[in-house]
């Protein structure tokens, strides 16, 4: 069942930056509506919103630090290309740790090379000349990861699966392929990103929340849905 939230008035996004009263009710279509305006004649639920604390950011910073390399130059490059390609630093760090454990000279049995284990074809696509040069490798790997996230509308699981198994496999199964190696790879990286387990223990994907898409409908209402809206322009990913 498609779950859609229609956000009206001044309510934009998934969080409210200001302290205030939030009212919620169900419309005639059964959609949950959130608004900052009281609704006369409607049964509403009122909740006072409090600004978020910084605990989440503190945990995020601590988790990022735990994923970092001992090589300060590699950390500088990760930060540089995470900003350049609009990536979560934790995700980029986690991919490098899972792929090569920061060994810039790593070569896999399949021929993947360097910190982000780029295949020759992928490296060539992004103009890599020296696969063992940290900056060239991270630049190309980060750009490739950004391209995969864009391809799958911000779905991190699908992007990671494609990084590991290729886009053909992900497209064929319309999701994470049923390959043991790929599923373990995706779970391992998501666990590291979330700070749940940096040792590589598999985390069940069933506990992960769906990707949420945001768009504005023909009446100017801001809508959120966990199903990608077809034939709609200006779709944004607001939660993964």
Catalytic amino acids? 99
In this structure, how many other beta carbons lie within 10 angstroms of the beta carbon of residue 231? Answer: 4
What would the DSSP string read from start to end of 78-144? HHHHHHHTT--HHHHHHHHHHHHTT-TT-B-TT--BTTTTB-HHHHHHTT-S-TT-HHHHHHHHHHH
The pairing of strands 4-7 and 32-35 is parallel
Angle (deg, nearest 10), helices 89-100 and 55-67: 30
User: What CA–CA distance (Å, rounded) separates 68 from 208?
Assistant: 24
Whether the CA torsion 210, 215, 218, 221 is positive or negative: it is positive
């Amino acid at each position: 069942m498609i779950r859609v939230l229609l956000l009206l008035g001044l309510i934009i996004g998934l969080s409210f930056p200001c302290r205030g009263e939030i009212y919620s009710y169900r419309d005639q279509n059964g959609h949950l509506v959130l608004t900052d305006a009281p609704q006369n004649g409607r049964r509403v639920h009122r909740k006072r919103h409090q600004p978020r604390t910084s605990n989440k950011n503190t945990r995020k910073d601590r988790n990022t630090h735990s994923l970092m390399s001992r090589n300060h130059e590699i950390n500088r490059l990760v930060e540089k290309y995470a900003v350049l390609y609009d990536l979560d630093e934790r995700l980029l760090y986690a991919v490098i740790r899972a792929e090569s454990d920061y060994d810039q000279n790593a070569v896999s049995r399949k021929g993947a090379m360097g910190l982000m284990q780029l295949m020759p074809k992928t490296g060539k696509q992004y103009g890599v000349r020296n696969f063992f040069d940290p900056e060239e490798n991270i630049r190309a790997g980060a750009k490739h990861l950004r391209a995969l996230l864009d391809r799958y509308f911000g779905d991190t699981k699908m992007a990671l699966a494609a990084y590991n198994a290729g886009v053909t496999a992900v497209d064929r199964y319309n999701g994470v392929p049923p390959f043991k190696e790929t599923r373990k790879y995706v779970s391992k990286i998501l666990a590291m990103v979330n700070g749940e387990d940096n040792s590589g223990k598999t985390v069940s994907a069933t506990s992960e929340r769906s990707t949420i898409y945001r768009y504005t409908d023909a009446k100017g209402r801001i809508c959120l849905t966990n199903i990608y809206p077809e034939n709609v322009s200006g779709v944004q990913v607001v939660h993964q």
